[in-house]
Amino acid sequence: MALISHGGAGKTSLAEALLFTSGAINRLGKVEAGNTVTDFESDEIKRQVTIGTALAPLEWENVKINLLDTPGFFDFFADVQAALRVADSAVVVVCGVSGVEVGTEKVWKCADEFQLPRLVFINKLNRENANFEGTLEQLRNHFGVKVFPLQYPIGKEESFRGIVDLVKMKALLYEDESGLKVREEEIPSDLQGKAEELREKVVEAAAEADDNLMEKYLEEEELEEEEIRKALRIGTLEGKIVPVLCGSATKNLGMQPLLDLIASALPSPMDRPGISGRVPGEDESIIRTASGDEPLSALVFKTLADPYVGRVNYVRVYSGTLKADSQIYNTGKEKVERLGNVFFMRGKTQIQTPEICPGDIGTLVKLAVTTTGDTLCDKASPIIFPPLDFPEPVISYAIEPKSKGDEDKVGVGLARFLEEDPTFRVERNTETKQIIISGMGDTHLDVVVERLAQRYGVEVNLNTPKVPYKETIRGTSKKEGKYKKQSGGRGQYGHVFLELGSIPRGEGFVFEDKIVGGVVPRQYIPAVEKGIVEAMEEGILAGYPVVDVRVALYDGSFHTVDSSEMAFKIAAAMAFRGAMESADPILLEPIMDVEIAIPENYMGDIMGDMNSRRGRIQGMVPGEGMQTIKVQAPLAEMFTYAIDLRSMTQGRGVFKMKFSHYEEVPFQESDKIIAAAKADKEEKDK
């Protein structure tokens, strides 16, 4: 069961309260104190936000419940998607003060995509300005009338002290500060009318979920409490009902009825439909169900690269039983992995177990090749599940160590982060000579930097990446290049005439040998071409590589003694640079294809912003509640777009971007780039 919400709604505090109430832990930790079970990484404790999904099993009424405490911050949304992929249900946590927020909409939509039954917990009702009814109204406005309250709070803000159970029609009052002692009483007289009004809606919802009850309801017969509970379970499993409960996680109020409902109304693995996979190398699909009699199949949904323990893989077992000290087949990597110990995890605490049964979640350590998204199974009955679908990174920075000589440490650390984070990317840009890291946002990459320092003892700087500009020509020109050197003994002599011309964009470089009569001997012509290619690595405008030119060698001369390959190479480079100066050189910049999906009411702002970034609108595609704008924009204008788009759309907008082509830089921009390149060169030459 995944806990999902907008950031700051209190998922981690709720996980802590559920663990404490169930007896899985004996002390109620606090996020502010940095001692909760599920926020155990040092950067989570420092920032007081969840960065990675954590697993925390508990038991309640003879039911094992695997809590998956997921991040609420948008930068780490991929962990939410992975958790929902392997969960059977979700609890949507909503702050009773803030109400429905952007993140609430995002996680709800994601739970819809995985067709997960869910319930809502309205949290923080002890806080100032908490408003249960206002939040409930927002939930129904956003997500429909299937959202039904099963509880109503007793008291407001600081005086919040209990809840009305609308199924039992009893008041549950908390007797002490621990939240563990609950007293059942009659509903306070001032809430009786409200409770009866809301209960009527609960009964109506239950009747709609069960045909037999509907008949009884229409005949105005009284529905039994047990009948209502069974009908609510059916409606919840089918997604026709989303029950709403309430309380305060930090005060540990409302946990017992929440656990009761999770255990009774949310699905077990056996209530969920079987998972579909395919036979490797074939189109045949297979369905696996949560049975110990079926062959083993499991999906790795998260990986931790611990510098001391090694790789830790979190797995959901879908069928069969995963046993310690056995062998398991990785279908994607086509490798047999040898298992040692297997564990359940409660936060960072490993609990050794002889096996992980179907439907359960556990961890495997020190596997050789297994990473996130891999399917593990019995080799005799291979299956491969659809891969986890992670979003592409949206922001990039150049990374460099603060101390020279730390490059290897940086490389090792980044390689480990690649293992554990599928939304993180690293590439070495051969043109700009920079290492570029990419992620889901500023905070995501800040965490990478912090973890490099904590785990690998290396500090780094993040800079805006250099744009890989290129240079080319618009005109044609001819130039002579002569290299002659005499310094005692054998001299150096190379002499060429080159003609430069442009070729269509993207064709790179064409060399033409137009020598007749042997004025440049055949053995020196490859050296001429090599000299040109080397000269093209650094153009004359701003030192960027030269592309899309045709160079013809049409004349020259040689010396029978002094000529050499080196002399002709130097002469060719001299001629090329001279010819380029008089061939109308220009700068080219990379243009990106950008697709931006936004709610319709942000269209004007986004299009205006794109125009200011020199973007060209290519078209628009309407969707359900969203519009997709297709744009071509220069890479130079897009480095901070992830942050800006999030700000302009309150986090509702998303975009993806890929390289399209190179295009001439406008005159005003070109002058700035050339001036900056010259200043940079002068600084380096000092």
Bridge partners (DSSP) of residue 121 are 93, 245
> Which phi-psi region, left, alpha or beta, contains residue 96 (left: φ > 0; alpha: ψ -120 to 50)?
alpha
Please determine, for residue 222, whether its predicted confidence score (pLDDT) is greater than 80.
Answer: no
Q: What value does the mean pLDDT of the chain take?
A: 92
Bridge partners (DSSP) of residue 512 are 552
In this predicted model, what pLDDT tens digit does every residue of 648-682 receive, in sequence order?
A: 998 889 899 999 999 999 988 999 999 988 888 88
What are the C-alpha distances in Å from 10 to residues 15, 98, 249? 9, 12, 7
Break the chain into its structural domains and give their ranges. 2-269, 275-377, 397-463, 471-583, 588-669
Please determine, for residue 624, whether its predicted confidence score (pLDDT) is greater than 80.
Answer: no
Cβ partners under 8 Å of residue 27, min gap 6: 20, 35
Q: What is the pLDDT of residue 220?
A: 73
CATH class of the domain whose range is 2-269: alpha beta
Q: Locate tokens 């979700």: which residue?
A: 90
Round to whole Å and give the CA distance between 255 and 258. 5
**What mean pLDDT comes out for the span 443-453?**
93
Superfamily of domain 275-377: Translation factors (2.40.30.10)
* Adjacency order of strands within the sheet including 182-185: 151-154, 162-165, 170-174, 182-185
Round to whole Å and give the CA distance between 642 and 75. 10
Q: Locate tokens 């037999």: which residue?
A: 212
In this predicted model, what pLDDT tens digit does every residue of 271-306 receive, in sequence order?
A: 999 999 999 988 889 999 999 999 999 999 999 987
Bridge partners (DSSP) of residue 148 are 243
Please determine, for residue 16, whether its predicted confidence score (pLDDT) is greater than 80.
Answer: yes
What single string gives the DSSP state of each residue in 12-64?
A: HHHHHHHHHHHTS-SS---TTTT--SS--SHHHHHHTS--S-EEEEEEETTEE
With contact defined as beta carbons under 8 Å apart, do 581 and 539 qualify?
no
Q: What is the pLDDT of residue 683?
A: 77
Q: What is the pLDDT of residue 25?
A: 95
Round to whole Å and give the CA distance between 557 and 168. 104
3-state secondary structure of 644: helix
Residue 448's H or E segment, with its range, is helix 442-456
Compute φ and ψ for 463, nearest 5 degrees. -130, 155
With contact defined as beta carbons under 8 Å apart, do 96 and 121 qualify?
no
**What mean pLDDT comes out for the span 189-193?**
93
Residue 677 DSSP label: H
With contact defined as beta carbons under 8 Å apart, do 606 and 596 qualify?
yes
What single string gives the DSSP state of each residue in 222-272?
A: PPPHHHHHHHHHHHHHTTS-EEEEE-BTTTTBSHHHHHHHHHHHSPPGGGS
Q: Which of 434, 642, 377, 432 is nearest to 542 (CA)?
A: 432
Six token digits for residue 202: 């609960």
In this predicted model, what pLDDT tens digit does every residue of 460-484 receive, in sequence order?
A: 999 999 999 999 999 999 999 999 9
Q: Which of 660, 547, 567, 650 is nearest to 605 (CA)?
A: 650
CATH architecture label of 588-669? 2-Layer Sandwich (3.30)
Amino acid at 650: Q
Torsion sign (Cα): 377, 380, 381, 386 = positive
Spacing of C-alpha 501 from chain mean position = 46
Q: Are strands 63-69 and 2-5 parallel, antiparallel or unpaired?
A: parallel
Round to whole Å and give the CA distance between 679 and 153. 66
Topology alike, domains 397-463 and 588-669 = yes
Q: What is the CATH number of domain 397-463?
A: 3.30.70.870
Please determine, for residue 216, whether its predicted confidence score (pLDDT) is greater than 90.
Answer: no
Task: Count other Cβ atoms within 10 Å, centred on residue 238.
Answer: 10
Rg of the chain over Cα atoms, rounded to whole angstroms, equals: 33
Q: Locate tokens 């996130």: which residue?
A: 372
Q: Which of 675, 598, 669 is nearest to 635 (CA)?
A: 669
CATH architecture label of 471-583? 2-Layer Sandwich (3.30)
With contact defined as beta carbons under 8 Å apart, do 18 and 259 qualify?
yes
Q: What is the pLDDT of residue 488?
A: 65
What are the C-alpha distances in Å from 636 to residues 426, 466, 577? 19, 8, 27
In this predicted model, what pLDDT tens digit does every residue of 80-118 receive, in sequence order?
A: 999 999 999 999 999 999 999 999 999 999 999 999 999
Round to whole Å and give the CA distance between 591 and 24. 55
* Adjacency order of strands within the sheet including 335-338: 335-338, 327-330, 375-377, 297-306, 310-319, 361-365, 342-346, 349-353
What single string gives the DSSP state of each residue in 131-154?
A: -HHHHHHHHHHHH-TTEEESEEEE
**What mean pLDDT comes out for the span 23-47?**
93
3-state secondary structure of 407: helix
Please calculate the CA angle 65-278-371 and round it to the nearest 5 degrees.
60
Q: What is the pLDDT of residue 419?
A: 87
Please determine, for residue 316, whether its predicted confidence score (pLDDT) is greater than 90.
Answer: yes
Round to whole Å and give the CA distance between 149 and 198. 7
Q: Give the side-chain half-sphere CA count within 13 A for 449.
A: 21
Please determine, for residue 536, whether its predicted confidence score (pLDDT) is greater than 70.
Answer: yes
Higher pLDDT, residue 626 or 663: 663
With contact defined as beta carbons under 8 Å apart, do 575 and 480 qualify?
yes
